[in-house]
Amino acid sequence: MKEADLRAAKALQRIGWLILLGSLTLTGILGYTVIVGLWKANDGVTRWLSLIIVNLLWVACACWLYRNHNSLAKKTSEYRDALQKRQTAAAQLPLDTTSGLRVYREASLDVIAAYRAQASRNRRVHNSFQLVIITGSIVVSTLTAMNEGSNAALSIVTSSLSALVGISAGVTGYFKFRERGTTSQSTADDIEKNYNASGFQLGDYAAMEETPRLIHYAGTVERIKEEQRKREIQLEQSTSRDERSAQ
């Protein structure tokens, strides 16, 4: 069981959920128009046929999601079993041997993937909040210009959007998602750089035998990971200082 296959199955599952939610939304809209008779067309057959087709779509999608959920659970279990077997086999090897160092070097690929996933997640969160801030600011400015104070509902919407923009800006500044994503990506790139250099005997790894080269690689990776932990602590401390200064 490969990790890429598991990611592909999860992506298909998410797409299926989006299709299901969209179909249910269309079902609600079409059902509403059928019940209250908002359609001006007199062709009732077309009206009901559209509703039936959409219902068949979400029913079929729900059935597919149910079957794919079982398949996804099986693939996840197989992937975890494979990881457990690999970890068990690696634990039986002494770390000071060449075989143990080889296992450590290959296991660092998982560390790289984890840091990159963390960086991507932080970037997505940061970009989402920035989108809310930018879009919300533009909408608030537009609504404020359109509303002269006579429309109470529009004033409530404007105030709510202003509060949402302020909260989003505060959350972004407090948790520093962009900085966290940058440090995680930098750590992943540094580890990958040393991984490739140790494999092709480049830079500091040139003209070194395999065992000393792997030992040097392990020490370098641990140093990079320690620097990443220090950067994370510094971000936490800067957040605490900002909170105290705000008080």
pLDDT for 112-150, tens place per residue?
999 999 999 999 999 999 999 999 999 888 888 877 766
- Model pLDDT, residue 213: 93
pTM score: 0.65
**What is the rounded distance in angstroms from the CA atom of residue 98 to the CA atom of residue 205?**
16
Query: Does the pLDDT value for residue 28 go beyond 90?
Result: no
Query: Does the pLDDT value for residue 44 go beyond 60?
Result: no
- Model pLDDT, residue 69: 72
Mean pLDDT of 171-200: 93
- Model pLDDT, residue 48: 67
- Model pLDDT, residue 247: 54
Whether 119 and 218 map to the same domain: the answer is yes
Whether 1 and 112 map to the same domain: the answer is no
Query: Does the pLDDT value for residue 97 go beyond 80?
Result: no
> 217 falls in which pLDDT band (50, 70, 90)?
very high
Q: Which domain holds residue 204?
A: 94-247
Q: Of the ranges 147-156, 174-183, 197-206, which one carries the lowest mean pLDDT score?
A: 147-156
Domain boundary among 70, 92, 114: 92
> 222 falls in which pLDDT band (50, 70, 90)?
very high
For 144, residues 6+ apart whose C-beta sits below 8 A from its C-beta are 158
Whether 34 and 9 map to the same domain: the answer is yes
Whether 167 and 87 map to the same domain: the answer is no
Alpha helices, DSSP H only, in the chain?
A: 3-36, 44-91, 98-146, 152-175, 177-200, 210-246
Answer whether 97's CB lies under 8 Å from 211's CB: no
Domain boundary among 92, 114, 146: 92
- Model pLDDT, residue 87: 60
**What is the rounded distance in angstroms from the CA atom of residue 93 to the CA atom of residue 120?**
33
Whether 171 and 143 map to the same domain: the answer is yes
Query: Does the pLDDT value for residue 90 go beyond 60?
Result: no
Query: Does the pLDDT value for residue 197 go beyond 90?
Result: yes
Where is pLDDT greater, at 86 or 243? 86
**What is the rounded distance in angstroms from the CA atom of residue 109 to the CA atom of residue 105?**
8
Q: Nearest 5°: phi and psi at 94?
A: -65, 135
Q: pLDDT, tens digit, for every residue of 57-81?
A: 777 777 777 777 777 677 777 766 7
- Model pLDDT, residue 226: 94
- Model pLDDT, residue 190: 96
> 96 falls in which pLDDT band (50, 70, 90)?
low
Whether 154 and 231 map to the same domain: the answer is yes
Whether 33 and 98 map to the same domain: the answer is no
Domain boundary among 92, 114, 142: 92
- Model pLDDT, residue 160: 85
Task: Check residue 37 and give left, alpha or beta (phi > 0: left; psi -120 to 50: alpha).
Answer: left
